[in-house]
Amino acid sequence: MTPTRTTLLAALLSATALAAQAQDLRIGLQEDPDVLDPDQSRTFVGRIVYAALCDKLVDITPDLEIVPQLATGWEWNEDGTQLTMTLREGVVFHDGTPFDAAAVVANIDRSQNMDESRRKSELTSVTGVEALDAQTVRFTLAQPDATLLAQFTDRAGMMLSPTAAAAAGADLGSNPVCSGPFKFKERVQQDRIVLERFDDYWNADKIGFDSVTFLPIPDTTVRLANLQSGDLDMIERLAATDLGAAETADGIKVEKATSLGYQGITINIGNGERAANPLGENAKLRQALSLVIDRDALNQVVFNGAFAPGNQPFPPDSPWYDTDYPVPQRDVEKAKALMAEAGFPDGIDITVQVANNPVQMQVMQVIQAMAAEAGIRIELEAKEFATLLSEQTAGAFQASQIGWSGRVDPDGNIHQFMTTDAGLNDAKYSNADVDRLLDSARTSTDTAARKADYDAARDILNEEMPIVYLYHPVWIWAMSDAVEGFVPYPDGMIRLEGVSMKE
């Protein structure tokens, strides 16, 4: 055989082998993400997609330590008002644009100044960003900000191609261009999001798939059935009631991690005309709603006791939890007394919107039955999750059962939801004292001082109650036993570095 023919045959065999190894990882999501633009989006499932699509300046470990990603190192000046980051060399965005200090400057400017950005309140301390050279960027702060590095582990730290962002503006979400291990291929709303391997990724040798397909399947039972049939390789948020079945099923394995976040009921306090109702206008009625809920029973009935009852943005085992306000016991008579004090001895009618998946519907059906005993008559409106979020933002709701996946720093669970005009404050709650305390907690690196500020804010929020907190989830993933290398993280993300599928 001639050398040329030998070389050609080897190439053909190699190509055949690569084709045989081509693998698509299929992940079942509980909802369809909202817009795929880190500056505009807010859904938990959107963050799962971003974990494969958009690298951040820094990331976390499973033990919640902050570690390098696009930034390889950083240091603070003596008074904590300047952060200097060294950037990873040789990184390019999916469109070939180089990632450098100028790109970081452009991204922070977009996050702070684009009208549609939800990241503004996360970056309020940053007053300037400067490219010192191609691989060094310096952030100047108005005051020390203990939360900034933690913000950069999430959407505020996700880097977009400045070329693509400038061209697309607020429409970038229809074709997002980041620098993660996979690049955007297609999206069919309510059906699938497909990403394909980015061969120029800086850490490409750790990526074991040619593509990853995300499929929104709100029904948890259907999601599990698709995994069992082989139509999915992995599912997120397995229902706690299905845990036993999944753990004993052939060909399936389960991983778990305690969440950093919470689930609750957000009340419309001042967001448009729908806030003009007794629940939105009277804190005693919101307190009554909280008191009629038996959180322990809710956890047992819906989650087989797998989750943690809660009444604050931080779980009871968190060092940030305010022990002066333990999870309240159910007290129907006190709830009725509060309603009478508020001028509603015969009860009230309220409407609560809820995501159209079986778990959240069951949560609200249990609460609906409990509340009825005190004369709080709840009408449920089941909605597709992205619609629910859109209507919250627009103020087209009275109350909404919704949660938050949680953040490494406590600020991430409260500041955006409780300060005036913050990006995720859909209740439009506003209290100058709460603003002052939560802003103060951002500026100190003294844990005791920060805790005192959060506790003082809790003194107010426990009375005014714009969010009625319910419980703290445990993330549960189920996957084919052929999936190897998956590591569960407390933030609920699916990181694909080091993950592969055995033959």
Q: Are 196 and 210 in contact (CB under 8 A)?
A: yes
User: What local confidence, expressed as pLDDT, does residue 444 receive?
Assistant: 87
Q: Which of 403, 401, 332 is nearest to 365 (CA)?
A: 401
Residue with tokens 């919250």: 392
Least confident of 11-20, 101-110, 232-241, 413-422: 11-20
Superfamily per CATH, domain 24-30+180-255+475-501: Periplasmic binding protein-like II (3.40.190.10)
On whether the 262-472 domain is CATH 3.10.105.10, my answer is yes
Give the pLDDT confidence score for residue 500 in this predicted structure: 97
Q: pLDDT band for 160, please (50, 70, 90 cuts).
A: very high
Tokens coding 399: 């109350």
What's this model's pTM, rounded to 2 decimal places?
A: 0.84
The predicted pLDDT at position 372 comes to: 98
Does the fold of domain 262-472 match that of domain 24-30+180-255+475-501?
A: no
pLDDT tens digits for range 329-381: 999 999 999 999 999 999 999 999 999 999 999 999 999 999 999 999 999 99
Strands 234-235 and 474-480: antiparallel
The pair of structure tokens assigned to 25 is 């990882």
Confidence of residue 21 (pLDDT cuts 50, 70, 90): low
Q: Which of 401, 411, 346, 334 is nearest to 375 (CA)?
A: 346
**How does pLDDT run across 271-321, given as a tens digit for each residue?**
999 999 999 999 999 999 999 999 999 999 999 999 999 999 999 989 999
Task: Read off the pLDDT of each residue in 204-218 and give the average, rounded to a whole number.
Answer: 97
CATH superfamily entry for domain 55-167: Dipeptide-binding Protein; Domain 1 (3.90.76.10)
Kindly list the domain boundaries of the chain, sorted by start residue: 24-30+180-255+475-501, 55-167, 262-472
What whole-number percentage of the chain has pLDDT above 90? Answer: 94
The pLDDT, as a whole number, for residue 503 is 78
Of 216, 219, 470, 217, give the one whose Cα is nearest residue 364: 470
Residue 405 clears pLDDT 60, i.e. is over it: yes
- In this prediction, residues 447-461 reach a mean pLDDT of 97
| Residue 191: both structure tokens together | 């059906």
Paired with 480 in beta bridges are 252
